[in-house]
Amino acid sequence: MALGRDDVAAWLRALRVVYAENKTLLTDLDAAIGDADHGINLDRGFSALVAELDKNAPADIRGLLQTTAMTLIRHVGGAAGPLYGTFFLRAASACAGKQRLEAPDVVALFEAGLQGIVERGKAAPGEKTMVDALAPAVEAMQRSLGDGGRLGDILQAGAQAAEEGMKATIPMEARKGRASYLGPRSVGHQDPGATSAWLLVKTAAERWR
Amino acid sequence: MIGLVIVSHSAKLAEGVCELAAQLAQGKVLLAPAGGTGDASNPIGTNALLVVDAIGSLAGADAVLVLMDLGSARLSAETALEFLSEDQRARVRLCPGPLVEGAVAAASLAAAGAPVEEILAEVSGAAARKAVAEPPEAPEERTVRIRNPLGLHARPAAHLVRVARGSPARLAIENLTRKTGPASASSLTALLALEARQGDELRLRAAGAGARALLEELARWFDSGCGEGEMLAPPSRARPRREGHIQGLAASEGIAIGPLVRLETAPPAEVEPTAADPGEELRRLERALEEARDQTRRLFEWARIEAGEDMAGIFEAQAVFLEDPALLEEASRLIEVERLAAEAAWERAWRGASLRLEAVADEYLRARAQDVADAGRRVLAGLKGATRLPAPERPSILVAAELLPSQVSELDRDRVLGVCLESGSPSAHSVILARALGIPVVAGLGPGLAGVGEGTLVAIDGASGAVWIAPDEETLRELEGRRKWWLARRETAQASRLEPARTRDGRRLRVAANVNSVEGAAEAVACGAEGVGVLRTEFLFLDRNRAPDEDEQAAAYQAIAEALEGRPLVIRTLDVGADKPLPYVETGSEANPFLGRRGIRFSLAERSLFRTQLRAIARVATRYPVEVLLPMVSCLEELREAKAEIAGIERQAGVRLKVGVMIEVPSAVALAPELAREADFFSIGTNDLVQYVMAADRTNPRVAALADAFHPAVLRLVREAVRAAHEARLPATLCGELAAEPLAAPLLVGLGIDEFSVSAPLVPRIKEAIRAVDAAEAEKLAGRALELDSAAAVRRLLAASTSTAG
């Protein structure tokens, strides 16, 4: 199965619902080790995105992802704005000229997005960040693709790896961002960024079965 | 022309920085702010598109430097680059470095016509990191040594740059001791990156016209201690000469040398014991009380500013004493019924009350005998028209039988270099205040100075308790060296207060502050505290007729958390008992409140009060790194019961709170391994622990000497508690006056304490004391201390191994 423009739009709109539902969870996780605004910021960003799509929806996949990037950059105040903004910006470039996304294209979308986040945030795996969920997710997707998996299986593998990666952030000591102020006190808390990154992959897996 | 873009989370800050930079830019630099999100409902943050706009608005600039404040501002600025055309991007440089200083430096350098690469290097500190200068060809060479105690810090480095730039010769400097450099002498940051400290050897190499003259000039300047005065060699580890000195108790570190001046307390003026007009006497007493209360308020403010709010609590207790209804009633009765004059009535009522108060438990209200005397004296002084302490005519060493806390405030610190006390202990409130103010004190000298004439030169070392009477030339020279060294160390401590504290062998310890108010939190941050180790919440509950509700408490905790800017905040739940009655809670009376229903026992009995406080804490914990600390836990049941309450509130609020236990009663030490399994951290409160362990009330002068936290009995329990914490992988904090004694720092590091929590103004000195410790050596030292047989022996051991100077 290949994805069309409407499937991508449906994913983005579903993310708005998912982040609204998990606003409190994300904000609480952030409260423990950050500044308690991650859920609020993502909720605001994706609400603004849906309002934008309602007003003025781009006709192609690249345009959709680009609009997502711009809206998040504009409306998500904290570090998540530029980070997820860059994710979608690079994802948009990866989809340039494509009307339909086959399985390898979807994996390439996530690869490019992850690459953007790594370059922007300069975080390595193990530093208690989004990368800890996204990097294993992308690796799992690449493996599954290599094994000839269907798109649904590929995304399922990605979501599962993201979830494991997210949970693995609990015993980690934060080395990036505001949570790093807490040093050893950040141990024992799940990273909010890794959690929102897991939701990003998980929602794709659910939407694009 | 060069353009600057200022990216900040706050639109106002970005504009303010532009305004500041514009002053230095002299119209020769273009400036554009890119602050805030541009979203009015959520203004704080950054927005890459605003950065793009700001860069676009500087189309007239040949090069654009972007300066940023916090981490995510950099992310936004980098994201902005993706939206620029190739052309634009080629002109833009992101400039890491401090926002305000960077903007000011960049504006002034740009206005002076410096090329963009040089500005970037200077502002970002890249010059410092690179720190490599081309060694000039065929150079003249000279080796010099850093002699001033603060090393090549910003001021002398700036001088060096000016001299180097003023010469046609090219100059590079290398730090041979630390193997840093060579640095070009025309770059301030590169010079600072040499990390040249006292004693380091530097190689200066210059070439070109005037090279030799330049080197000669600089060699002289280095020899003069970089223009900061003569050489202050670190004193040898050897003890100063023993002859001619008498030994007291080490009370407040520091060396002072000066002529001896005695504090004469004038004999009380004789007054007629009875008076004819009781109405007039009552009015006189009322006026004197009012005046004394005013003075106490001023003393509180003074102590808060000078010594931190922890210390100011001393005067808070005195204010409570001056409001004591039983006392005031008794004084009035004596005037009206017994027809006594105001002075006589007050004196009798006050002595009676001080006897009653000695029977009361907690130190907060019980105020030490000394404090009651202090407050009572203030009223009497008002009645009799007594005056302040006379200031010595020249800088001196003051000798007194004892000093009251308010008298410390009257010491003229330019004239009183140090204090010798005949009685008095290192834990007296006046001594604690003197310590916070940095006045050297030796206590408990007895009659040792009785025969010494006024004006005799004396020298004191508050860290070892030694006093030299008329020291000979050689001793004097050595002590003068030590005094300079001590003063320089104090300055270094202040200068590096925001840096973390690491022992010489690299163990990182945290130093937090004890805080009792919103203002205290901001002060703590300014003093370099890495968070609040204990927030005493009593300030919200005392002196009012109704309990503070959840909103009021949450607002106070939030304001404090906010002031800490992301640093951890440990909130201790209400710690009151029958001795600190709350008007809105029926506490009943207890024969012995010190052993009564206080701390967590009180909270568990007054459940609704406890829940309200926990809910307020939980609310703030949803947004800030907040932890809960339970006072006076003496058994597991108390912890479990409190945790059950907390669990309910965590569920409602949707947060997880870390719960710590105060280790301040002996049973908590005995149960430490079990408590550690169920708690998230320990906070060892030595002030109460020492009294319970030694069964000695430190406000009772007859046994106060026993209640010494340096006693090996207490230290062994501290070790047990720390061990239990570490076995359960929990951190152990030490709060209490022991943590605030620089003398104790190696001991506490050796016992394994992870975090110190002290009065805010002491943070710099405690950090500096930790930096002087070698953790491995400290462990051996602590082991030895625990085997000694008295507190005095422990103090002697510590004084011998860490004199003020070393």
Question: What would the DSSP string read from start to end of B635-652?
Answer: SHHHHHHHHHHHHHHHHH
Please, which residues have CB within 8 angstroms of residue B85's CB and are 6 or more apart in sequence?
Answer: none
Give the pLDDT score at B110. 81
Give the pLDDT score at B365. 39
Contact B600, B638 (CB under 8 A): yes
Catalytic position from the list B9, B245, B429, B711: B429
Give the pLDDT score at B389. 66
**Closest Cβ–Cβ partner in A75, A83, A120 for B39:** A75
Q: Which two tokens stand for residue A167?
A: 């949970």
Chain A residue with minimum CA distance to B500: A181
CB within 8 Å: A32 and B655 = yes
Q: Once rounded to an integer, what is the mean pLDDT over residues A137-157?
A: 95
CB within 8 Å: A78 and B45 = yes
Query: How many structural domains is chain A composed of?
Result: 1
Give the pLDDT score at A162. 97
- Verify whether residue B429 is a known catalytic residue: yes
CB within 8 Å: B655 and A70 = no
Q: Once rounded to an integer, what is the mean pLDDT over residues B43-70?
A: 89
In chain A, what residues touch B38 (CB-CB under 8 Å)?
74
CB within 8 Å: B622 and A44 = no
CA distance B179 to B201: 10
Give the pLDDT score at B135. 59
Tokens 């904000």 locate to: A27
In chain A, what residues touch B47 (CB-CB under 8 Å)?
73-74, 77, 81
Which residue type sits at B778?
A
B356 pLDDT more than 80: no
pLDDT, tens digit, 9 for 90 and up, residues B273-294: 777 788 888 898 988 888 888 8
Q: Residue B387: how many CB atoms within 10 A of its CB?
A: 9
DSSP β-bridge partners for residue B626: B569
CB within 8 Å: B75 and A28 = no
Tokens 């105690």 locate to: B149
**Closest Cβ–Cβ partner in B71, B79, B656 for A73:** B79
**Counting every residue, how long is chain A?**
209
Q: What is the 3-state secondary structure (H, E, C) of B6-30?
A: EEECCHHHHHHHHHHHHHHHCCCEE
Domain, as residue range, for A202: 5-207
CB within 8 Å: B39 and A77 = yes
**Closest Cβ–Cβ partner in B72, B567, B654 for A181:** B567
Compare B521 and B127 and report the one with higher pLDDT.
B521
* CATH numbers and ranges of domains, chain B: 2-124 (3.40.50.510), 131-223 (3.30.1340.10), 245-266+389-481 (3.50.30.10), 278-384 (1.10.274.10), 502-801 (3.20.20.60)
Query: What does the DSSP assignment read for B711-741?
Result: SHHHHHHHHHHHHHHHHTT--EEEESGGGG-
Q: Once rounded to an integer, what is the mean pLDDT over residues B101-118?
A: 79
Categorize the per-residue pLDDT at B632 as very low, low, confident or very high, splitting at 50, 70 and 90. Answer: very high
Q: Once rounded to an integer, what is the mean pLDDT over residues A1-13?
A: 92
Contact A81, A75 (CB under 8 A): yes
Q: Which two tokens stand for residue A66?
A: 């680009």
Distance from CA of B98 to the nearest CA of A (A): 17
In chain A, what residues touch B75 (CB-CB under 8 Å)?
79, 81-83, 120-121
Compare B623 and B699 and report the one with higher pLDDT.
B623
CB within 8 Å: A86 and B79 = yes
CATH number at residue A161: 1.25.40.340
Categorize the per-residue pLDDT at B129 as very low, low, confident or very high, splitting at 50, 70 and 90. Answer: very low
CB within 8 Å: B78 and A120 = yes
The dihedral of CA B297, B298, B300, B304: what is its sign?
A: positive
Categorize the per-residue pLDDT at B410 as very low, low, confident or very high, splitting at 50, 70 and 90. Answer: confident
Which residue type sits at B466?
A
In chain B, what residues touch A93 (CB-CB under 8 Å)?
none
Tokens 């009522």 locate to: B349
**Closest Cβ–Cβ partner in A31, A79, A184 for B72:** A79
CB within 8 Å: A78 and B72 = yes
Give the pLDDT score at A85. 94
ipTM, 2 decimals? 0.81
Phi, psi at B703, each rounded to 5°: -125, 0
In 3D space, the residue among B218, B176, B181 whose CA is nearest the CA of residue B201 turns out to be B176
Categorize the per-residue pLDDT at B802 as very low, low, confident or very high, splitting at 50, 70 and 90. Answer: low
Q: Once rounded to an integer, what is the mean pLDDT over residues B438-447?
A: 88
Categorize the per-residue pLDDT at B266 as very low, low, confident or very high, splitting at 50, 70 and 90. Answer: low
Compare B346 and B154 and report the one with higher pLDDT.
B346
Distance from CA of A106 to the nearest CA of B (A): 23
CB within 8 Å: B622 and A28 = yes
CB within 8 Å: B49 and A82 = no
Given the DSSP bridges, would you call strands B532-536 and B170-175 parallel, antiparallel or unpaired? unpaired
Q: Once rounded to an integer, what is the mean pLDDT over residues B55-78?
A: 88
In chain B, what residues touch A170 (CB-CB under 8 Å)?
none
Angle, vertex CA B576, rays to CA B571 and CA B577, nearest 5: 155
CB within 8 Å: A79 and B48 = no
In chain A, what residues touch B623 (CB-CB under 8 Å)?
31, 35-36
CA distance B674 to B98: 47
B235 pLDDT more than 50: no
Binding-site residues on chain A for chain B (CB distance < 8 A): 24, 27-28, 31-33, 35-36, 41, 44, 70, 73-79, 81-83, 85-86, 89, 120-121, 177-178, 181-182, 184-185
Tokens 């169920």 locate to: B678
pLDDT, tens digit, 9 for 90 and up, residues B183-203: 888 776 677 778 788 788 999
- Sheet containing strand B457-461, strands side by side: B245-247, B466-469, B457-461, B255-262, B396-400, B416-421, B441-443, B249-252
Give the pLDDT score at B370. 66
Binding-site residues on chain B for chain A (CB distance < 8 A): 9, 37-39, 42, 44-49, 71-72, 75-76, 78-79, 82, 566-568, 621-625, 654-656, 731
What is the number of alpha carbons within 13 Å of residue B143 lying toward its C-beta? 6
What is the percent of chain B where pLDDT is above 90?
33
Give the pLDDT score at B243. 55
Mutation pick from A67, A73, A83 vs chain B, by most beta carbons of B within 10 Å, is: A73
In chain B, what residues touch A65 (CB-CB under 8 Å)?
none
Radius of gyration of chain B (CA): 30
Mutation pick from A86, A185, A190 vs chain B, by most beta carbons of B within 10 Å, is: A185
Contact B449, B427 (CB under 8 A): no
What is the percent of chain B where pLDDT is above 70?
89
In chain A, what residues touch B566 (CB-CB under 8 Å)?
35, 178, 181
**Closest Cβ–Cβ partner in B42, B49, B82 for A89:** B82
Categorize the per-residue pLDDT at B714 as very low, low, confident or very high, splitting at 50, 70 and 90. Answer: very high
In chain A, what residues touch B39 (CB-CB under 8 Å)?
74-75, 77
Give the pLDDT score at B125. 65
In chain B, what residues touch A76 (CB-CB under 8 Å)?
45
Mutation pick from B72, B510, B617 vs chain A, by most beta carbons of A within 10 Å, is: B72
- Verify whether residue B95 is a known catalytic residue: no
B767 pLDDT more than 70: yes
In chain B, what residues touch A78 (CB-CB under 8 Å)?
45, 72
Chain B residue with minimum CA distance to A66: B83
CB within 8 Å: B625 and A185 = yes
Cα distances from B151 to residues A114, B195, B476, B478, B506, in angstroms, run 47, 8, 25, 21, 21
B212 pLDDT more than 50: yes
B492 pLDDT more than 60: yes
CB within 8 Å: A85 and B79 = yes
Query: What does the DSSP assignment read for B248-267?
Result: -EEEE--EEEEEEEE-PPPP
In chain A, what residues touch B622 (CB-CB under 8 Å)?
27-28, 31, 36
CB within 8 Å: A177 and B71 = yes
Number of A–B residue contacts, CB under 8 Å:
86
B239 pLDDT more than 50: no
Q: What is the mean pLDDT of chain B?
A: 84
Give the pLDDT score at B720. 97
**Closest Cβ–Cβ partner in B45, B49, B623 for A31:** B623
**Closest Cβ–Cβ partner in B47, B71, B654 for A79:** B71
DSSP B682: E
DSSP β-bridge partners for residue B201: B145
Give the pLDDT score at B605. 93
